[in-house]
Amino acid sequence: MTRKGRRLVLISAGLCVLALAAGLILSALSDTIVFFRTPTEVAERQVVPGERVRLGGLVETGSVVKAGTTTTFAVTDGNATVKVSYTGILPDLFREGQGVVTEGALATDGVFMADSVLAKHDERYMPREVADALKKQGLWQHEGGEGRPAPGAASPASPMTVSPASGS
């Protein structure tokens, strides 16, 4: 075999090893990927029951019900609402009308079974995916580095009300 032939075989073998390593890494990472969904996407059946997803939106006013360590509440994006069930201790900032991101899976009965709940800090912070979904619907605007509800998008009695966290 010529020198050029050996070099070609060596480079080909190296590329095969790199491709195999990349394939193994990607297959290992695919088990940990969790996609973000809005309540509208969940309501339109874009989420298969049992599939792990992140659900984000605003906690609907009047929907929080606590029974021991289990809390049920509704998450809305203004178009659709998804009932969420969570067992555990909720974050201190969790309350009605505030932004929330939950992670879990949709049950066959349509209830989202969350195993973690993240509450937003105040009206200036909103997870990018939630803010983008609200912006797409015209319910959120970004002005001067601060995000806030769009004028007329939410009234004080509306579930879309976003108020600043006290003591910040």
pLDDT, one tens digit per residue, over 72-89 is 999 988 888 899 999 988
Q: How far apart are CA 38 and CA 33, in angstroms?
A: 17
Lowest average pLDDT, out of 25-39, 77-91, 99-113, 122-136, goes to: 122-136
- Rounded to an integer, the average pLDDT of 83-101 is 88
CATH among 3.30.70.3340, 2.60.40.10, 2.40.50.140, 3.40.1080.10 for 35-149: 2.40.50.140
Check whether 13 has a pLDDT greater than 90: yes
pLDDT of residue 32: 66
For residue 39, give every residue at least 6 positions away whose Cβ sits within 8 Å of its Cβ, in sequence order, or none: 55, 57, 75, 76, 77, 79, 80, 81, 82
> pTM for the complete prediction?
0.58
**149's tokens:** 């509800």
Contact between residue 82 and residue 43 where contact means Cβ atoms under 8 Å apart: yes
Q: In Å, what is the CA distance from 4 to each residue of 10, 13, 114, 121? A: 10, 14, 59, 62
Q: How far apart are CA 164 and CA 133, in angstroms?
A: 20
Strands 140-143 and 35-37: unpaired
pLDDT of residue 113: 92
**113's tokens:** 């079974």
Structure confidence at residue 12 as a pLDDT band (50, 70, 90): very high
Domain spans of the chain?
Answer: 1-33, 35-149
Contact between residue 106 and residue 53 where contact means Cβ atoms under 8 Å apart: yes
